[in-house]
Structure 1
Amino acid sequence: MIITAFLIYNVINLIYASIIIKKYYEVFIMDALWKNTTDLPDYESLKSNINVDIAIIGGGLAGILTAYKLKEKGLNAVIFEADKICSGTTGYTTGKISLAHGLIYNYLIDNFSLEQAVEYADCNKKAINEYEELINKENIDCEFEKCSSYLYSALYDYNLKEEFKAAKKCNLECEYLEESELPKGIKGAIKYKNQGKFNPLKFVKHIIKDLKIYDHTFIKEFDEQNKLLTTDKGYKVKADKIVFACHYPFVNSPGYYFLRMHQERSYFLICENKKKLKNIYLNVDEKGYSFRSYDKYLLFGGEKHRTGGNKEGYKYNLLREKLKTFDKNYNEVGHYSTQDCMSIDKVPYIGLFSDSLKDIYVLTGFNKWGMTSSMFGSDIIADMISNGLDNKNSIFCPSRFDTKGVAKSAIKEGPYSIKGLSKEFLNIPNTELDKLLLGHGGVVKYNGKKVGVYKDEDGKCYIVSTKCPHLGCELSWNPDEKSWDCPCHGSRFDYMGNIINDPSVENLEFIEKKQ
């Protein structure tokens, strides 16, 4: 009897322990929803010099769709990805296929023209339709669903009403609501019909089947005159045409994209969802909360900030507190963050990289709307390459500089670079190394020099340079992600100094590891 009771007791403990371990493991692995639901194939890295017709730098959705569209036109393109395909923004997107890009259409009419605002709307509308047609034609199992997209405000509705009027001028199918299934306390909402949502990596897994891809092939140098790319291992890629689809172009001149973009970070919780939401939602107030359902999960995100601007941390905790106002009993199973390129005038750059470069193309500055931008952007690039077309009169043409929005944004953007550079050269920290708390990082004074230090829970110090290798701005410590982030152009590095995000192509100088 005693032995039986003892066995039962131990079995119960084992079951309880297995539940705890399973729960911990689930939380641990759910760092990105799509990556945990889809296994993409591994590709070999480039190990020799090669010649290609078309080289595509970047294995995210934009690069993959461009290669796919070119193949449809009978052209051969090769994708070169620095890490593993879709390991960047594509793997961390919300998977919304929508033209409801915040308060965009009223802005476009005011700063461009009604004609160009309609072009923007039509391209995104076409992208949504093209996803549906391609998915049906190829019978792609990626959980694609048609739905409505809601933009809502909890603070005021004047801007939303103006946006609604602008959307109607652009011939978009939408309606204005003051009551809906949205959370209580909203002031107003715009409902856009016939939008979509899907699992982007399941979609990618199908369309990459016949594409030539090299993983772990970091393109580090670009010889514009000879159309020659060089990897970090020294291998050469000679191409007739080159497409930069690598998130943020690492080439500074020509093009000068570092003067025309910055990067933003957003944070997401993955929660088990008691109530499945049919539609997709975006709050247009400052924090920019976003949510959608997928299977048994809810993706809830926001707390956006310019890269390098998260000195205080606690972004995930702020999200958790906000989510409690919607659901007090939510069950979090993971969290992650993502990074997006933001163009100076809120419109992507799609077309020739620069007027001075022939046969060099770019897709970047998607402003957090990479699903539709990648689809219609790949169409534009594929048409330009196959038919020799130009898009100089398009709103997406990278050489545009004559809108009111550019002038306003340039005034706003300039001080970030000036401040970042001046801090690197002029600011001397007062904090000493021994004053840094365990588990914290920061810019400190060490041996009379300014350095960046992360002190782990065991007291080990990882000391790096605070100077961004891209253009020399001073880096800022991100406590939520234990990374060094550049507030000027968005390069990011782990606490050991290794590159996480471009445009830098060099690691930080690692000074020493100190106990």
Structure 2
Amino acid sequence: MIFIRKKHLSFWLDNEESLKFHPLKNETTVDVAIIGGGIVGITTGLMLKNKGFKVAIIESKRMASDVTGSTTAKLSICSSINYAQILSGSGEEIALKFKEASILAFDKISEIIKEYKIDCDYERMPLYIYSSNKKNFKDIKKEYDALKTLNIDVDLTNEFLTPFNEELPNEYNENNENSKSNESKENNIEYHNNGDNNPENYENIVNKAIKYNNQAQFHPKKYSDALIKHIKGDGSYIFERCKVLGIEEGEINRVKTENGDVLAKSVVIATNSPIYDPDSTLSYMTPVKSYMLGVYVKEELPDAMFVDINPFHTFRKTPTKKGDLLIIAGEHHITGHSKNTSDNFKKLIEFTKEKFELKDIGYFWSNQDNRPSDGLPIIGETSQKGIYVATGFGSWGMIKSTLTGMVLTDLISNKDNSYAEILSPKRLKNQKSIKKKCVSNFNTKDLNDEELKIVNDAISKLKIDEAKIVELPGRGVSIYKDSESNVFALHANCAHYGCRLSWNSAEKTWDCPQHGSMFDYKGNAIHGPTINNLKSYLK
């Protein structure tokens, strides 16, 4: 495999000594139980504790090691083109409120960094959003028009720095040679200026960009770990490697885990994809997979962040001991809908080689988030009193996790919050589900002799590192042979809603294309919304 000498690991998680916490040992009572130890749970936990609440964060893996540890960690009041959708779909009043909420959350992060004196490579810089495909120039203009309607401080510029030196058609370069500044020549950074040229003449050129001034970036693990240090103690707890099995609702809710129970009047579901979902939020979201590379290049990288909406890629740099590491994300697709996820990494590598003089690929990893149908995150109290949820961040989690902490702290404190209504999961009852009903299958009976013969025959033909689904009458069995010729045979449908799973060759997981659950090749649930493992047919 082409990645064998690279680290299949997020850069943020490498060389960072994680704080370690024990699993739950005895029944514990707190004011608020938070399920999920990512930046959402951490931020919310700290804000609640600062208001006098006793909290317990329950994490099935390690703190800030999953979605938070796999982000690109750009901090901005918008991550791509989003406000045009909210403005047209939800109206100006809601769009204005969401703008205000995003700005408050953005500012709150810098306040937290100053208050706790956090060293997390926080740096202010502009964000450029543009398109390399002429078919989407109109989308950039539409988003810009929406931003001006909402009085958001942005520029629409046709002269901007790009993270790479694009080789454009000769006529284009010659006509615009004079528009390059002396600074750009000295630093070997190219300006793109369309001038009077007709972009219809070119298939792949950069046109105008939306420029968000004074945005920021940071190291998400350093930031999260700094917050974690202020949560535990004085009646508050952090439990790692503690899998939640369910919630028993009541005046005092009981969060059941593998290691015991946590009792709390309030419960926050902060698991990216909610493992408890009384309002069916999953029916209004699409799980989206994205791929990241951490690379060293020969070019001098500009002090800016970039989002190219088509073909979709994002770029940022971060300091390391070896120099600036360029983090590139792309190859997005709906979870479970890629025929070969290894190819997604390969395509991202080829794209990077085309755009940059590559010195070394240090890291490769993927991440997943839920894209809400109306463009707004889902944050607030569910229809079950005392149980709150935060999800649907649309790959814009750093700001929205902070917004979650602010909103939920107010709600749990019985205070009014100006943004609670527009973000509430209860708003979804007036919307139409975007999900097509999957063909569910929960037939997990042991295989009979005839079925076992069919499965064993398929196993005998399996190659090393090959996976496939064996179709049986009335059900399917997924099989996989690892590098040591160990074979695993599992129920081929998700333990959540019974939807047929899809093989993820790059990460050796079975992924649900409907709601985004993930299982390792042994059948263990490793990403929600499911909490149950897959049935194994081989003893």
Partner of 2:435: 414
2:126 equivalent to 1:100 = no
Q: Letter of the 1:256 partner, please give it.
A: S
SS at match of 2:409: helix
Q: Within 5 Å, give how 1:123-272 maps onto structure 2.
A: 123-156=101-134, 157-182=137-162, 183=164, 184=166, 185-211=205-231, 212-233=237-258, 235-252=260-277, 254-272=278-296
SS at match of 2:379: strand
CA distance, structure 2, for counterparts of residue 320 and residue 174 of structure 1: 32
Q: Which has the higher mean CA deviation after the structures are superposed, 325-334 or 500-509?
A: 325-334
SS at match of 2:538: strand
Aligned-pair CA distance for 1:205: 1.7
Q: 2:500 aligns with which of 474, 478, 481?
A: 474
Aligned-pair CA distance for 1:424: 9.2
Q: Which has the higher mean CA deviation after the structures are superposed, 490-499 or 122-131?
A: 122-131
- Residues 288, 421 of structure 1: alpha-carbon distance in 2 compared, 3 angstrom cutoff: farther
Partner of 2:45: 67
SS at match of 1:400: helix
Q: Which has the higher mean CA deviation after the structures are superposed, 324-333 or 53-62?
A: 324-333
- Residues 249, 329 of structure 1: alpha-carbon distance in 2 compared, 3 angstrom cutoff: closer
What do residues 343-381 of structure 1 show as CA deviations (whole Å, max 9, x unaligned)?
232211111122xx2222111111111100011111010
Q: Letter of the 2:486 partner, please give it.
A: K
The answer as to whether partners of 2:161 and 2:302 remain within 8 angstroms in 1 is no
The answer as to whether partners of 2:370 and 2:395 remain within 8 angstroms in 1 is yes
- Residues 447, 260 of structure 1: alpha-carbon distance in 2 compared, 3 angstrom cutoff: closer
- Residues 436, 393 of structure 1: alpha-carbon distance in 2 compared, 3 angstrom cutoff: same
The answer as to whether partners of 1:65 and 1:378 remain within 8 angstroms in 2 is yes
Q: Which has the higher mean CA deviation after the structures are superposed, 173-182 or 481-490?
A: 173-182
Count of residue pairs brought into register by the alignment: 475
The answer as to whether partners of 2:469 and 2:476 remain within 8 angstroms in 1 is yes
Aligned-pair CA distance for 1:111: 0.4
2:340 equivalent to 1:312 = yes
Identity %: 30
CA-atom RMSD in angstroms? 2.5
CA distance, structure 2, for counterparts of residue 233 and residue 401 of structure 1: 32
Partner of 2:188: none
Aligned-pair CA distance for 1:194: 1.5
Q: Letter of the 1:221 partner, please give it.
A: G
Q: 2:327 aligns with which of 290, 299, 320?
A: 299
- Residues 402, 495 of structure 1: alpha-carbon distance in 2 compared, 3 angstrom cutoff: closer
- Residues 83, 473 of structure 1: alpha-carbon distance in 2 compared, 3 angstrom cutoff: same
Aligned-pair CA distance for 1:330: 4.0
Partner of 1:13: none
SS at match of 1:38: coil
Q: Within 5 Å, give how 1:319-330 maps onto structure 2.
A: 319-330=348-359
Aligned-pair CA distance for 1:446: 7.1
SS at match of 1:102: coil
Aligned-pair CA distance for 1:226: 4.6
Q: Which has the higher mean CA deviation after the structures are superposed, 36-45 or 292-301?
A: 36-45
The answer as to whether partners of 2:477 and 2:492 remain within 8 angstroms in 1 is yes
2:23 equivalent to 1:45 = yes
Q: Which has the higher mean CA deviation after the structures are superposed, 319-328 or 435-444?
A: 435-444
CA distance, structure 1, for counterparts of residue 59 and residue 52 of structure 2: 22
CA distance, structure 1, for counterparts of residue 367 and residue 66 of structure 2: 8
Aligned-pair CA distance for 1:300: 0.7
Aligned-pair CA distance for 1:276: 3.1
SS at match of 1:380: helix
Q: Which has the higher mean CA deviation after the structures are superposed, 260-269 or 362-371?
A: 260-269
Aligned-pair CA distance for 1:320: 0.7
The answer as to whether partners of 1:92 and 1:337 remain within 8 angstroms in 2 is yes
Q: Which runs of 5+ in 1 are unaligned?
A: 1-22
Aligned-pair CA distance for 1:69: 0.9
Aligned-pair CA distance for 1:190: 0.7
The answer as to whether partners of 1:424 and 1:473 remain within 8 angstroms in 2 is no
SS at match of 1:474: coil
- Residues 61, 378 of structure 1: alpha-carbon distance in 2 compared, 3 angstrom cutoff: same
Q: Within 5 Å, give how 1:321-400 maps onto structure 2.
A: 321-354=350-383, 357-389=384-416, 394-400=421-427
The answer as to whether partners of 2:295 and 2:362 remain within 8 angstroms in 1 is yes
The answer as to whether partners of 1:433 and 1:444 remain within 8 angstroms in 2 is no
Q: Which runs of 5+ in 2 are unaligned?
A: 167-204, 232-236, 445-450
CA distance, structure 1, for counterparts of residue 340 and residue 240 of structure 2: 35
Aligned-pair CA distance for 1:422: 7.8
Partner of 2:202: none
What do residues 229-283 of structure 1 show as CA deviations (whole Å, max 9, x unaligned)?
344425121111111112111124x211232223111111111143233111111
- Residues 61, 511 of structure 1: alpha-carbon distance in 2 compared, 3 angstrom cutoff: same
SS at match of 1:300: strand
Aligned-pair CA distance for 1:76: 1.9
The answer as to whether partners of 2:253 and 2:265 remain within 8 angstroms in 1 is no
- Residues 391, 137 of structure 1: alpha-carbon distance in 2 compared, 3 angstrom cutoff: closer
Shift >4 Å, 4+ stretches:
390-393, 422-425, 428-431, 445-449
Q: Which has the higher mean CA deviation after the structures are superposed, 181-190 or 166-175?
A: 181-190
The normalised TM-score by structure 2 is 0.83
